[in-house]
Structures are given as structure tokens and as C-alpha cells.
Structure 1
Amino acid sequence: HAIEPWLLDEEIIGSSIAGSVSLGPLDYPILLFYTFPLFLMPLVFRTIANFRDMARQSKINKMENINPIQQLEISRDAIAMMIDDNTNLKPLRARVQVGITVPERGAIITSLGRTEGGQPSPGMSTKLPDKRIATGDNVGIGVGEATPMQLSTRRSVILEPMRIMETGDWKTDLSTGRSFKLDLPLSQWPGTVYSSMIAVHWEIVVEFLDDKDSLIKWVSPVIMPQSSKKTIIENAPIRSGRSELSNF
């Protein structure tokens, strides 16, 4: 309505369609007939996407669980590895990534002087129902869904990014049966540390193509030795915890 007088003066619209529209009681069922499908479309698309994700997870769970990494040498300079020549997967690229995992809920509550079942700390929600797969949402500090709908199995096939994470460069010229080196992230990170509050996690991500040319990843945790030098991370590389961003 703000620009309607100008549209009339410029004869862009006619006076027959200008002004307010009055709907009577008999017009609302017709209006609902056209608008209700628009409200259902996002739900339909999300339902289809969830079923596709679950079918994909079920397919991966049925695959034979064979470690494709045949040889692995870990040092503070680089990681040398070799992919098994007998694997039926085609390697595409690989890299090293390191980050800080989400602390345990009990450790956060204890450090803040709170008790479970009481008033949640600022930025935390009440405890969610127990799940078999521990994600950031279970801690009560996640915002929205971090991962797509997952199957109720102990074997997770969804890669959830760490909230603070740095990656090395992708190594693309891969072939089976030949050793190659992966560069570490540029910043100096501590070695592997696992505790209830602070956990520094190192892992290798290798992307493959299966027999149907579908992309699949193999994620292998590695135990990185501690550095003899002082490690300082001046700027923490904060990332989103959504799984869509794990494929960057």
C-alpha cells in the first residue's frame, strides 16, 4: 500500500486491482485449499530427506567393516600412510584434522558450581533424554539439530564437525598400495588429550568412491604425540557444529 498511489499515477496498475481485498466467510475455504499445500511442502521435503538419509545410513551399516588403511606412521611433522591395495573403494583425497570436542555435561555443571536437575547454567538447556550416540545436543549446549536423523544403532555413520577445529590441506593424488604423506595443520596444536573437560582429538579423513560412485568417508582417530615445544593457539578456529559443514 505504501507505493500504490505512485503505481496508479504511473499507470503501472489499474484502479480495478487497487485498494484492499475483502474476503467473505465463503472465500476462506477456497483460500485454504490453495495455501495449505504450501505449508505442507517443507514438511514433505524434510520427510523425504530423512528417509533418504536413513536409507543411506542403513546401506553403509551393512557394508563390510574393513579398515582400508594398511600402514600408518605418526609424527609431529607429518603423517605417512598407505591404503590397502585389496580394498574395493577408489580413494579420492585425504587430510588430517584436529580439534576440541564438546566437554562432558557433568564436567561443565561441576565447574560452574551447579547440580544436575537444578537451574541450568546460562547457555545450557535441561538434560535431554539419553541417546546411544552422544552429540553436542545431549550436552545441552547445541542450537538446533547438529546432525540429520540417525538410526538407533551403536555405529554412527554421520560425521559431526568439532566446534573448534583446524584441518590440513587435502592430498588428492592418492592410489592404493603406495605410501604418501599428509600435511598437519599450520598451527601448533597439543598432542592427543582425552579428559572430561578438555579433549584434543586428532583424526584422518579419507574420501572414497564405492562401486556405485557414491561418496563415502573413512574417519580414523590417531594418537598424536605431545610436542617438546610450547604450543600456543592465538585464534581458535571456531566452526559450526552442523554435519553439512563437514564436507568442506
Structure 2
Amino acid sequence: MTVTFITGANKGLGYETARRLVELGHTVLVGARDPERGARAAAELGARFVHIDVTDDASVDAAAADVADHEGSVDVLINNAGIAGPHADPATLTGADALGVLDVNLVGVVRTTTAFLPLLRRSADPVIVNVGSGLGSLAITHDPSRIESSVIAPLYTASKAALTMLTTQYAKALPDVRVNAVDPGYTATDLNGNSGPQTVTEGTDAIVGLATEKPGARSGRFVDRTGEIAWS
């Protein structure tokens, strides 16, 4: 049975991804920072809760140790935890604001990937899915036909652009692991005040697709629910 660990899985895209993968027969581990919400989500889903705060080295290491003790390995790691950051006037942004967003959206992925790699390498077909965004694409955010071109969110967009590069570097550096990134699309979640036109099910189509691919699929891709998109 496929063992899948998802960060930020107590709500939104993470929760819906967990729900769908449980239905598909995965053993799903719900990673969440809030113990109460995480445990409640896991109980609702028929999954197991694992406490993890991706901004804390000790918490991430403890989560990996917990999984090593219980499941012994991980087949799919979905780096989903993310924050939007401040919605303030960009002229007022501070270094602390930037560090806070990057600590979750980028550095958290590094921490979690490093801690879980030994568990992934025990799998016959290890997979990492990084939940990025079209808001991290230079091409998409400069295309006037796309809604992303009208969004002003310097820290969030910069963090997701960095995540796409991190994904391509991991894909090159880790030939034994399939590493890809996904753009869920503009989905109604707490991150955007539930303003997105897509449902969370539509928003998780590409995540679930990458998490359930057959062995031999390519690494180093950026995909949305319609297929592969260009790295740009």
C-alpha cells in the first residue's frame, strides 16, 4: 500500500488531497502544525495524524522519526504547507515579513525533504510533489489574459518562484526520486479568502495526478490540471 505524507493537510488543498488519496487506497499521513485540527482532520479522513511544524527543525525531524517508527517508509511526500503572508502595501514590507513567508513556503520544503529523504529512499518508487503556483511563473504573471497577471503579492509570488527552481534542482540532483511541482490553479481556499473560482477538488486534480502516477513517469515537470506547463 502506498504511504503518502502531506504537510498542511488539515484544511484546504491538503485536506482534499488526503481525502482523495485515502479513497484511492493510500495510507495517508496528515501532517499539520495544530495538533487539535490535525487530529480532527485525520479522524474525519480515516488517516493518521503526524504533528509537524515545517518552520522548526526539531519538529520536522520528530515527524520523520515518528513515521520511521510507525510506517517505516514513505512512497509519496507532498510539500503542501504554505502561507500567503501579509496583505499590506508593498512599500511597507519588512525583512521579517519576507523571512516569515520564505520560512514556510521554501525553507520548510527544504527541511521536510531533507528529513524524509531516507524514508523515501526505502520506497521502490519515491515521489515528491511540491505544491507551487502559477503566481511563481514569470510567463504566467506577465500574460494579460491570465488572472495571475493582476495579482500583487511580492512575497508569496517570490517564494513560489523560488520553489519552482528548487524543484528543478532537486529533480536533477536526486535521480532516484521523482520530483515535480504543481500549479493547483486559482482555487477557493482560506489562502485567498475563498475567492477562487475552482473547487478544492479541481484544485487537487494535478496533485493527485502526480501522487498516483505509475513508475517511470518523468521527473522535473511543472503541471496543472490540464497537463504540463513550461518552466518560465
Which protein is richer in strand relative to its size?
Answer: 1
Higher RCO (C-alpha 8 Å, min separation 6): 1
Question: If you compute each CA radius of gyration, which structure gives the higher value, 1 or 2?
Answer: 1
TM-score normalised by the chain length of structure 2: 0.25
